[in-house]
Amino acid sequence: MSTPQRLLVLGTRTFAVEVADLASDIDGIVVAGFVENMERDRVGTSLEGLPIHWIDEVAALAPTHVGVCALSTTHRRRFVDQAAALGLRFATLIHPSARVSRTAHIGEGAIVSAGAILGAHARIGRHAIVNRGALIGHHTAVGDCATLGPGANIGGCCDIGASSYVGIGAIVLDKLTVGHHSLAGAGALLTKPVANHVQ
């Protein structure tokens, strides 16, 4: 049996707790702590009984740990870049209850949560978040650092841009594009393409 990977969760808010809980269901992963990069006074305390580290400590932990970014906003790239510059490698988390096509591709640092379904030839970018029960159709691409909220339903042959956000229960019809850094709100029904930087 291989040695479990020791996981650092980048983030210290409620979504970080959610991601740690998800990771605890995955064989070969042991959650070892959390990392903060904005509020130094949280360092030295604990979350879920595990230590909170300051970002600079990652350099010493990187040889023996992997990370995943658990910021629910699409601005997680800054945190990821900070940790990567300190040598941290990233885990890809796929909950055992997710159904992932054998032809799908999931990028480094991505999170595929409980009950998510990824169709044939779906592509999930680096550090993207596919939340609980999200559905991703065949031949659909989800960009780096994009977020799909719980229950989002993305049709086939869609292109969801980098750092975009598709809210809870939103529906994106087949063959549509959501531009990078754009937002589809909770419960939205998208029947037309969305340009870049649309809020």
Terminal Cα-to-Cα distance of the chain (whole angstroms): 48
Q: How far apart are CA 50 and CA 19, in angstroms?
A: 14
CA 161, chain centre distance (Å): 14
Cite the active site residues.
138
Segment 127-166, tens digit of pLDDT: 999 999 999 999 999 999 999 999 999 999 999 999 999 9
d(CA 71, CA 123) in angstroms, rounded, equals 21
pLDDT tens sequence across 24-71: 999 999 999 999 999 999 999 999 999 999 999 999 999 999 999 999
Q: How far apart are CA 9 and CA 32, in angstroms?
A: 8
